[in-house]
Amino acid sequence: MSADADSLLFRGRRWLVLGVLVGAGLLLAWRALDLQILRKDFLQGQGNARYLRVVSEPAHRGMITDRFGEPLAISTPVDSVWADPQQLIQARESWPVLASMLGIKRSALERLLAAKQNKEFVYLKRRVPPDLAAKVMALEIPGVALMPEYKRFYPAGEVTAHIVGFTNVDDAGQEGMELVFDQRLRSTPGAKRVIKDRLGHVVENVERVREPHPGQDIALSIDRRLQYLAYRELKAAVRKNRADAGSAVILDVQTGEVLAMVNQPAYNPNNRSGVNRSHLRNRAVTDVFEPGSTTKPFTVVAALESGRFTPDTLVDTSPGRFRVGRKTIHDFRDYGLIDVSTVIQKSSNIGASKLALSISPERLWGTLAGVGLGAGTGSGFPGESSGLLADFATWRDIERATVSYGYGLSVTALQLARAYAALATDGRPLPVTFLRRDPDELAELKEDLAAMYEPIAEPGNLRRVRDMLERVVQKGGTGTQAAVPGYRIAGKTGTVKKSGVGGYVEDSYMALFAGIAPASNPRLAMVVMVDEPRGEKYYGGAVAAPVFAKVMAGALRMLDIPPDDLQPGPGQRLALLGGAQ
């Protein structure tokens, strides 16, 4: 190639490069003009319309169920309406319709926005129904958006309210099991990066920053069927007897599980507005009362264990009055010379006192404390009372006597049920639980207890006292209305004068019934307490015993517990012997 041709080619390429460069420069200038000036508004709008945000991703709180997995507390997804105040403040024209749709006052909305004008988030209305949420979003008001949340719903309502409890608006447990197991039930929200549009709506999920973790479910020991039944019957009895309040507890005597626990008055946990605080109380664990005559079986256990009494030992209760120091103890009637069984069957205060005064105070105290009176039940329920059982060292004769028939000590309904469960089994009270108990854990627990505690009595004496308690429900006893056809029932009535300031109040009573079924092979213990019945009838045998009978009859049937009335009981045993001769 010649030098000329070479330079010609070189010059041509220079023009070409120059041309390309100039062209590119012009193109850039045009593009700049286009972006910066000609299409500025459109593009700026687009840029503002989409932005990247990290938002929280809620997870649901664990479910609370009954022992069969039936839901008692459940979290359902709902939406809360919130706003970015800085945007909503600009859209003043949409305030009236927004306020009216959400059911808030226009002035309240204005005040809210004014107060939060420098913030980027404010709740307008939490947990709205889905159709309302959709209507609000259809308004397309700038800065107004939805946030997914969960609302707690209690399917059994007031029937399980006192046990389950409730959460506050931030999903934190406030009462009952919701409070006790808050840590387990609680969820941990996740977080995700999203793209939102100008209205604050998520238009694209970009990535998950943190996994959401739902709370754990919890299965209670409660049997929803028994709970409903107990609730219905207690409520009816409190109303019928024009009483102030009431409680009922059913325990599985073999496991210590609470199968049912109900109180009156109750409340609806799904709508707590305007509820009287006193209705929130789970009285069966928080309130104490003097157990009166329902204590007598334990006095008799102590008496039999002393070796100085048998069920047939005679006790003189005449003339129906008995002086101890400067006080006089009364019976309902003069029962005369009666055996120990009849002390229970007729509920003689004098009989119980005489038994107590002939055994050591330490033995009586040991038996009462031994079945768990004066101590917590181990239920872990918030605000549980441990009752009161004074040390026997402080007892004078009058206290030894009154404690023997249930005055001068105080118990909760749950404690009393647990004591009867101990009487129904091996004389060693199990810790009570509101959770479904695992059989292996139960076996281990029983082993530990057997290693730690002596039973309060030998099995024979426990059976003898249960036999006496069967007579309470039979003809001639104070608790005939507690009878359940087909089953042998062991139980005790109590009619307790309530103590006020300065002593026991006339015409102010508590009606009690505590019992065990089936007596031949006990499975359930139940306590019914009706506080201040104001009707014609106020005796435990007339007010509490019928509730026991109705609920126990249903419970035994629902649990498929076979009838045992064909097994010879204490009433029939003599008759059978007589028939054979």
Question: Is residue 481 close enough to count as binding ligand 59J by CB under 6 A?
Answer: no
**Closest approach of Cβ 509 to ligand 59J, in Å?**
6
Question: Is residue 167 close enough to count as binding ligand 59J by CB under 6 A?
Answer: no
The rounded distance, in Å, linking the Cα atoms of 276 and 270 is 15
269 CB burial (10 A radius; 0-12, 13-18, 19+): buried
Helices (H) and strands (E) counted in the chain, each on its own, are 22, 19
Place of tokens 């946030």: 147
Among 295, 481, 495, 520, indicate the residue that binds ligand 59J (CB under 6 A): 495
Place of tokens 């010379």: 337
Percent helix, strand, coil in the chain, to 5, is: 45, 25, 35
293 catalytic, yes or no?
A: yes
Among 75, 187, 347, 404, indicate the residue that binds ligand 59J (CB under 6 A): 347
**Closest approach of Cβ 406 to ligand 59J, in Å?**
7
**Closest approach of Cβ 330 to ligand 59J, in Å?**
6
Smallest Cα–Cα separation from 375: which of 469, 247, 264, 366? 366
Peptide bond into 570 cis (omega under 30): no
Peptide bond into 319 cis (omega under 30): yes
Among 227, 263, 293, 461, indicate the residue that binds ligand 59J (CB under 6 A): 293
Beta carbon nearer to ligand 59J, 176 or 292: 292
Chain positions 182 to 241 lying near ligand 59J, rule: CB under 6 A, are: none
Among 145, 237, 329, 355, indicate the residue that binds ligand 59J (CB under 6 A): 329
How many residues form the binding site for ligand 59J (CB under 6 A)?
19
Give whole-number Cα distances, 321 to 26, 97, 300, 301, 343, in Å: 121, 79, 20, 24, 14
Q: Which of 247, 293, 353, 520 is catalytic?
A: 293
Beta carbon nearer to ligand 59J, 282 or 341: 341
Run of H or E including 219:
strand 218-219
**Closest approach of Cβ 415 to ligand 59J, in Å?**
18
Cα 121–125–126 angle (5° rounding)? 95
On whether the CB atoms of residues 163 and 178 are closer than 8 A, the answer is: no
**Closest approach of Cβ 373 to ligand 59J, in Å?**
17
Question: Is residue 493 close enough to count as binding ligand 59J by CB under 6 A?
Answer: yes
Residue type, position 291, single letter: P
**Closest approach of Cβ 557 to ligand 59J, in Å?**
26
The rounded distance, in Å, linking the Cα atoms of 240 and 186 is 41
On whether the CB atoms of residues 410 and 290 are closer than 8 A, the answer is: yes
Give whole-number Cα distances, 16 to 23, 25, 133, in Å: 10, 14, 64
Beta carbon nearer to ligand 59J, 167 or 317: 317
| Backbone angle region of 196, left / alpha / beta, with phi > 0 → left and psi within -120 to 50 → alpha | beta
Among 167, 187, 299, 349, indicate the residue that binds ligand 59J (CB under 6 A): 349
Among 130, 332, 453, 567, indicate the residue that binds ligand 59J (CB under 6 A): 332
Of the candidate spans 57-65, 110-118, 362-370, 496-504, the one that interacts with ligand 59J by CB under 6 A turns out to be 496-504
What the block records as the tokens of 32 is 């700049």
Give whole-number Cα distances, 569 to 207, 264, 468, 510, in Å: 72, 35, 10, 30
Among 478, 483, 518, 524, indicate the residue that binds ligand 59J (CB under 6 A): 478
Among 247, 402, 410, 415, indicate the residue that binds ligand 59J (CB under 6 A): 402
Beta carbon nearer to ligand 59J, 412 or 495: 495
Among 113, 496, 547, 551, indicate the residue that binds ligand 59J (CB under 6 A): 496
Chain positions 50 to 79 lying near ligand 59J, rule: CB under 6 A, are: none
Helix 130-138 / helix 95-102 crossing angle, nearest 10 deg:
180
Cα 489–254–227 angle (5° rounding)? 70
**Closest approach of Cβ 439 to ligand 59J, in Å?**
38
> What mask of x and - would describe binding to ligand 59J in positions 249 to 288, judged by CB under 6 A?
----------------------------------------
Of the candidate spans 248-256, 489-497, 549-557, 573-581, the one that interacts with ligand 59J by CB under 6 A turns out to be 489-497
> What mask of x and - would describe binding to ligand 59J in positions 531 to 570, judged by CB under 6 A?
--------xxx-----------------------------
Residue 123 CB partners (closer than 8 Å, separation 6+) = 80, 81, 82
**Closest approach of Cβ 511 to ligand 59J, in Å?**
7
**Closest approach of Cβ 248 to ligand 59J, in Å?**
17
373 CB burial (10 A radius; 0-12, 13-18, 19+): buried
Beta carbon nearer to ligand 59J, 257 or 532: 532
Among 381, 395, 407, 487, indicate the residue that binds ligand 59J (CB under 6 A): 407
By annotation, the residues acting in catalysis are 293
Query: By the criterion CB under 6 A, which residues form the site for ligand 59J?
Result: 292-293, 329-330, 332, 347, 349, 402, 407, 478, 493-497, 504, 539-541
